[in-house]
Chains A and B, each alone.
Chain A
């Protein structure tokens, strides 16, 4: 009786969906979240519209959260961390500690779903070519998102709406120098979505996107990319800026307009760095506590990703969402459903063979 439960670590989109899924399948679920609220990064970082679909992030996450918190099979532990784990598939004893007061408890579960997510790349971390720490008008997708949500998109230096804004893609992604060689998958879509929102909120503002490749999967193409370019007149220029220099009260962006074959120097009011994904601190920590193998970038390793996209290196422990590497919301939710199913199956299998 004690090990019929599923532990879900992380209360973002992946964790919420995994908890809901496992609970709907009839399992008891303990959902652990380090922060004092559920909803994960979309809520914590104040996302505006979702990519893709353009639904209000807060509304969507609140709906999902409510379904989990009101579910009779789910117990939520906020401000709680996983600090220890013993046992194996069907029979884990996991020690949870309260953030702050250090009180702890041990829960007995049959399987675990890790949904600890990602964090945004810090563009000031290793390279300062874009002056992120220096210039107030150089921001990231994250800050732009919060401004767009507040419907007040302005230059941080003046508080006035900008007339010219550019995005620089692949900041902290696809870069051997930085060590993040992977594509973060969502930034092309998010930048294009934000470009549309900027054009909607500040119609006189010209918006440019400097890119290496535009990676607009499936319907992102016709739902985001084409409207951005054709309807909202966002300028896509293949070429990545090498540096940004303050010039008067503007930012001089230097790069190459590769397809027109000419060097490029443009003045911008604001530059938005399209920062990619890195494993969150929680993902690294949980991987260590649970003994999960991590890949060279620190994401949780999925040994058979193609055919078993949610299994980790430890039987009975599954992963969902960006803890396993860059993911969009569609993939995150799909993984969460698959992880919930596998987690419940593990519990049931253990219950069916008491000796094992």
Chain B
């Protein structure tokens, strides 16, 4: 039961209390939960260590406190708002009681995504390119991202590098780095294994919850390779 309902909580007044409670219980039921939250001194060391707290109205302490107090209304607000301001750097793990506010946020994000909350979709919208790259290639930052137009602050070097990217890359001794569209050369065998992991751990289901379009594109790429390698993907579209 909430100790008090501040006005901003009214944003989610339409959501039935039972639904908020259900999501709250889903977070608490996670086997990692007891190791992430013991008791809170409210000392603020996590906030002091938190880079996000310097720039946003965000407090890892309040995340821990809200869960400890079983304040379902405030939890639901944080589930939709606060948790997306965390950079998951885990500086907050220096807690003297051994809590991990960042870990609690991981659990909350997973619940938000798994349940396809609109706020989760919105928060992750800008990341679809990054997700596509990581999930389809296993690497995120690739040399061809160096574009003078995209990074004017990098100066004239960026332009020169971009123009002769292939040559620059070939100058590197390891052959596996003679790539431009991925950070290094990724073998098909590795990719197939990676794709299998995405499917088997339920990651593909999570992606479908937050971004159906992205899910479709990824499936096309992955299934083709998996079938080529002799893996059967259950349910065709799965």
Residues of A within 8 A of B (CB): 226, 229-230, 235-238, 257, 259-260, 262-266
The reply on B4 being an interface residue by CB < 8 A is yes
Known: A229-B68, A236-B39. 14 other contacts (CB 8 A): A226-B38, A226-B97, A229-B38, A229-B39, A230-B38, A230-B39, A235-B69, A236-B42, A238-B42, A259-B42, A259-B61, A262-B6, A264-B3, A265-B4
Chain B contact patch, size range: 10 to 19
**CA–CA, A226 to B99, complex, Å?**
13
Main SS of chain A's interface residues? strand
Distance to closest chain B CB from A210 (angstroms): 11
- Contact mask B101-145 → A, CB, 8 Å, 1/0? 000000000000000000000000000000000000000000000
The reply on B65 being an interface residue by CB < 8 A is yes
Distance to closest chain B CB from A242 (angstroms): 14
Residues in B47-91 with C-beta less than 8 Å from chain A: 61-62, 65-66, 68-69, 74
- Nearest chain A residue, comparing its CB with the CB of B66: A260
Distance to closest chain B CB from A206 (angstroms): 8
Distance to closest chain B CB from A196 (angstroms): 13
Cβ–Cβ contact A259 & B6, under 8 A: no
- Nearest chain A residue, comparing its CB with the CB of B34: A230
* Chain A residues within 8 Å of B3, by CB: 237, 257, 260, 262, 264-266
Distance to closest chain A CB from B232 (angstroms): 48
Distance to closest chain B CB from A243 (angstroms): 15
Interface centre among B39, B40, B65 (most CB of A within 10 A): B39
**CA–CA, A33 to B38, complex, Å?**
47
- Nearest chain A residue, comparing its CB with the CB of B42: A259
* Chain B residues within 8 Å of A262, by CB: 3-4, 6
**CA–CA, A82 to B6, complex, Å?**
60
Cβ–Cβ contact B42 & A226, under 8 A: no
* Chain A residues within 8 Å of B42, by CB: 236, 238, 259
* Chain A residues within 8 Å of B38, by CB: 226, 229-230
* Chain B residues within 8 Å of A230, by CB: 38-39
* Chain A residues within 8 Å of B65, by CB: 259-260
Interface centre among A230, A235, A260, A266 (most CB of B within 10 A): A260
**CA–CA, A126 to B58, complex, Å?**
42
* Chain A residues within 8 Å of B39, by CB: 226, 229-230, 236
**CA–CA, A249 to B66, complex, Å?**
28
6 closest A-B pairs (Cβ-Cβ)? Answer: A229-B39, A259-B42, A230-B39, A230-B38, A264-B4, A264-B3
**CA–CA, A259 to B47, complex, Å?**
12
**CA–CA, A264 to B65, complex, Å?**
15
* Chain B residues within 8 Å of A265, by CB: 3-4
**CA–CA, A235 to B40, complex, Å?**
10
Q: Given A229-B39, A230-B39, A238-B42, are A257 and B68 neighbors across the interface (CB < 8 Å)?
A: no
Residues in B1-30 with C-beta less than 8 Å from chain A: 3-4, 6
**CA–CA, A266 to B3, complex, Å?**
6
Distance to closest chain B CB from A191 (angstroms): 15
Cβ–Cβ contact B68 & A235, under 8 A: yes
* Chain A residues within 8 Å of B61, by CB: 259
Q: Given A230-B38, A238-B42, A266-B3, are A260 and B68 neighbors across the interface (CB < 8 Å)?
A: no
25 A-B residue pairings within 8 Å (CB atoms): A226-B38, A226-B39, A226-B97, A229-B38, A229-B39, A229-B40, A230-B38, A230-B39, A235-B69, A236-B42, A238-B42, A257-B3, A257-B4, A259-B42, A259-B61, A259-B65, A260-B3, A260-B62, A260-B66, A260-B74, A262-B4, A262-B6, A264-B3, A266-B3, A266-B4
**CA–CA, A265 to B97, complex, Å?**
28
